[in-house]
């Protein structure tokens, strides 16, 4: 239950990605743009990893590398691999693609860089730098 309380946006994002990975998308003019779906993959998994980073950093004053790496890097990459395998083996309307997997991993890596160099300093300053007796 702790996970539900501390990581609600991460869980919603995971559920949205699972749904989007298996539904049949409508045809749009965006399909005419070469590799547009790869950009979507980078954004989906970069967004997921970013949300996990942000929720973790807000919840923890002391950062522990192992749970952060497991949750924000390894989990999205493994989930991505599972989804690509399931798409290729279990669906008729979707296909698993190694390039999609690479795009997903790229999104996770970019989010991890942002997490370390942008989110971490900002959140530590905003949420964890106050003294215990400050009222603001």
Q: What is the pLDDT of residues 81-105, one digit of tens each?
A: 999 999 999 988 888 899 999 999 9
pTM: 0.89
State the pLDDT at residue 130.
64
Query: Directed axis angle between helix 98-114 and helix 36-59, to 10°?
Result: 40
Tell me: pLDDT of 65 over 90. yes
């Amino acid at each position: 239950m702790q996970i539900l309380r501390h990581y609600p946006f991460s869980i919603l994002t995971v559920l949205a990605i699972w749904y989007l990975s298996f539904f049949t998308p409508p045809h749009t003019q965006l399909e005419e743009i070469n590799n547009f779906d790869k950009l979507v993959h980078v954004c989906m998994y970069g967004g997921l990893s970013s949300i996990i980073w942000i929720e973790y950093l807000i919840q923890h004053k002391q950062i522990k590398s192992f749970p952060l790496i497991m949750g924000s890097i390894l989990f999205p990459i493994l989930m991505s691999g599972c989804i690509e395998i399931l798409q290729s083996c279990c669906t008729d309307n979707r296909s698993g693609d190694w390039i999609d997997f690479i795009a997903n991993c790229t999104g996770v890596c970019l989010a991890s860089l942002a997490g370390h160099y942008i989110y971490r300093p900002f959140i530590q300053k905003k949420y964890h730098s106050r003294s215990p007796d400050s009222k603001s």
